[in-house]
Structure 1
Amino acid sequence: MPTTSSTDRLLDVLVIGAGQAGLALGPHLARRGADFLLVDAGPEIGHSWRTRWDSLRLFSPAQYDSLPGLPFPAPADTHPGKDDVADYLAAYAAHFALPVRLDTPVLRLHRDADGTFTATTPTGTLRARQVVVATGPFQTPHVPAIAGGLDPDVPQVHTAGYRNPAQLPGGGRVLVVGAANSGLQVAAELAATQPVTVAVGTRPTELPQRIAGRDLFSWLSAVRFFTVPSSSRIARRLRARGDLVIGSRSRDLRRRGVDFRPRLTGLTGRTARFADGSTVDVVAVVWATGYRPDHSWLHVPGVVVDGQVRHTAGTTDVPGLHVLGLPWQTCRGSALLGFVGADAEALAARLTVGAGSTGVSGRAPATRATSPV
């Protein structure tokens, strides 16, 4: 159980979030002799992975899933499951003896008059010269307002709460809203036991898991896809096209009998309506509609603009306040398990260590970006 925090100790660095990004930063801070602490709202390291759906597997093969200094313990070209990832993150924290305080959500973060930061938690306060927000992009599940038109007797669940088909009533048609990676993976699983309709808003690019006998990630890595700078023209084009769907193909699902419809426009009782005027009756709905950032706890003026955190390669305009693990923070791989380490190393080099530090040791050499925490 966490103990009440003392405000007397002034940390060099407080890392908010002990997921892949926060953990990747830890060994760099330890090597520099920093007085630091990672805090996480979860009851265990890897909790956010353990609570995903049971059959979830990474579309990145194991050789691309390592954090700095500890290889992922799985054969090359195998695809780890969600519990494998959670186990690895826990092992990583133990291997480097990282100071992690669990069950410690940050309820409020503010900057004091002397330029230091105070984080309020349920068990007390923590003070630090510098703060790294590493809470990741998956914060608040987004469910559209039209969900309110569904009959209360019809179960509905976001993919954040979906575990397996046994959660849903059998025998009838299930509507999956969203056709990105999560939506198509869940649809494929459900299609083994019952009829499925997928509502497609925007259709992302779909790529097979293997091409010419090699995993897709080997091809993408060869052309430096994951290290394309976020400020480049090609990065802007890639971001405009949305995420890639890897390994799940809508044409394969159609052959298995999955019904694809255009954008969902309304729900009335048990009936779903689509943009082409068609309708279908359903017994359950799975919302694969993504997440929204939550900055309600971040009380530092000038950081959140139009609902997004403004930063330059992870460094905000507020001295001493940084972010890590965001999509496109510096490149395409910034939010991916096996690629966040490069951003962690670069950020660690910009953090100052030792009493009397100002929280500023140089600005990031990158163009201005606006990204969600």
Structure 2
Amino acid sequence: MNRSTYHTVVIGAGQAGLAMGYYLKKLGKSFIILDKNVEVGTEWSKRYDSLVLFTPRMYSTLPGLILKGDPQGFPTKDEIANYLKVYAESFQLPIQLKTEVTRVQKKDSAFYIETNWGEFQAANVIIATGPFQKPRVPDFANVLSPDILQLHSSQYKNPAHLQSGNVLVVGGGNSGAQIAVELSQERETYLSVSQKIKFLPLKIGNKSIFWWFDQAGILKASHDSWIGRKIQEKGDPIFGSELKKAIQNGHIILKNRTVHSRETVIHFEDKSTLKVQNIIWATGFISDYSWLNIEGVLNNIGKPIHHRGQTEIPGLYFLGLPWQHRRGSALLQGVGEDAQSIMRHIQTRS
């Protein structure tokens, strides 16, 4: 088998992998970033057409390169996709695309990364595949009538992709909120949530609420700090007022948690039912590390065991995980700090 040897292999060329590349280049050791997509930024460009970030440009940048435009304005998903391409080109990061990792194992002090383009050997491996790996959809979705059009939020593009009739959006996160608002402008729309929705404005005065978070130290709060624990307990709010207004105007009808279904009828926690023609599952993602063939890295529910990205396996790291160190660890504005921390740890091993 063809084998290439590097000091460090990064798996994933999304925002986390690119930020890692920026710092690895400063380290001066050989490295390569592997990604299964055909170009950098694909994961952003293929998301729904109307996606706009709720973090402003000044908090949507990677280390070393600002995102052009109004710092207090909110970038589109295509803007971010293009920014990632420019970022990779600006720092001439060594990226090998169309390369899917099928297995990672460790023998003695070296890692062996098997891909569809041969094998790689490295002293360090950084898994930067991000939190959006495998769409999460409830099991009962499989027994729904084929007359219902079902899409996960990662498959949804725009209202034209739906069939005629009403739509139920399941999931009360910011993606579900944006999609529901968009659909409510042209059809009967329902939104199923598991708990009371908390709203926060996108701006206070003429500044983003994230600017105020930054001033208050919230963005820098670690996952195990008092502030960090409280934020995690409460969960993420819905940013902006569009959903709140649509609910108040009756354009979106709120429903309780979706619990099961039969044919074309959805059953909710409060015993109410709804016959639907379209469903958007904005129910998030689950981790998929089936290709990681190293014991002691994942817990009993398949999540990485780590401290700020460092695992108990020398030379193996994770980057871009939600709350890896702080709230923004999985976001553009926070991943750079974690990447720098990992680079420093690798430097001590070199």
In the other structure, the counterpart of 1:351 is 346
Give me the whole-angstrom Cα distance separating, in 1, the residues matched to 2:197 and 2:306: 27
Deviation of 1:148 after TM superposition, in Å, equals 2.3
In the other structure, the counterpart of 1:367 is none
State which drifts further: 191-200 or 71-80: 71-80
In the other structure, the counterpart of 2:179 is 186
Deviation of 1:250 after TM superposition, in Å, equals 4.1
Deviation of 1:93 after TM superposition, in Å, equals 0.3
Is residue 360 of structure 1 aligned with residue 349 of structure 2?
Answer: yes
Q: How does 1:1-373 map to 2 (within 5 A)?
A: 6-7=2-3, 9-112=4-107, 114-170=108-164, 172-248=165-241, 250-254=243-247, 255-306=249-300, 307-352=302-347, 360=349
- Give the 3-state SS of the residue equivalent to 2:191 in structure 1: strand
Deviation of 1:25 after TM superposition, in Å, equals 1.3
Give me the whole-angstrom Cα distance separating, in 2, the residues matched to 1:350 and 1:161: 38
Deviation of 1:278 after TM superposition, in Å, equals 1.4
Give me the whole-angstrom Cα distance separating, in 1, the residues matched to 2:94 and 2:237: 35
| CA gap 1:184/1:60 in 2 versus in 1, 3 angstroms | same
Contact 2:218 2:227 in 1 (8 A): no
State which drifts further: 91-100 or 250-259: 250-259
Deviation of 1:251 after TM superposition, in Å, equals 2.8
- Give the 3-state SS of the residue equivalent to 1:45 in structure 2: coil
Contact 1:111 1:118 in 2 (8 A): yes
Give me the whole-angstrom Cα distance separating, in 2, the residues matched to 1:240 and 1:338: 22
- Note the alpha carbon deviations across 1:35-83, whole angstroms, 9 max, x for none: 0000011111011001100000111111111111111022222111111
- Note the alpha carbon deviations across 1:63-122, whole angstroms, 9 max, x for none: 11111111102222211111110100010000000000011111100001x211000001
Give me the whole-angstrom Cα distance separating, in 2, the residues matched to 1:44 and 1:124: 19
Give me the whole-angstrom Cα distance separating, in 2, the residues matched to 1:202 and 1:17: 34
- Give the 3-state SS of the residue equivalent to 1:273 in structure 2: strand
RMSD: 1.4
Contact 1:119 1:126 in 2 (8 A): yes
One-letter amino acid of the counterpart of residue 147, structure 1: A
Identity of aligned residues (%): 39
- Give the 3-state SS of the residue equivalent to 2:349 in structure 1: coil
- Note the alpha carbon deviations across 1:106-145, whole angstroms, 9 max, x for none: 1100001x21100000111001000000000110000001
Aligned residues: 348
Deviation of 1:329 after TM superposition, in Å, equals 0.8
Deviation of 1:248 after TM superposition, in Å, equals 4.8
- Note the alpha carbon deviations across 1:320-362, whole angstroms, 9 max, x for none: 001111111111111110221111111111113xxxxxx836x
Q: Which runs of 5+ in 2 are unaligned?
A: none
TM-score relative to the length of structure 1: 0.90
Q: Which runs of 5+ in 1 are unaligned?
A: 353-358, 362-373
Give me the whole-angstrom Cα distance separating, in 1, the residues matched to 2:140 and 2:205: 43
Give me the whole-angstrom Cα distance separating, in 2, the residues matched to 1:23 and 1:213: 31
Deviation of 1:204 after TM superposition, in Å, equals 4.5
Deviation of 1:233 after TM superposition, in Å, equals 2.4
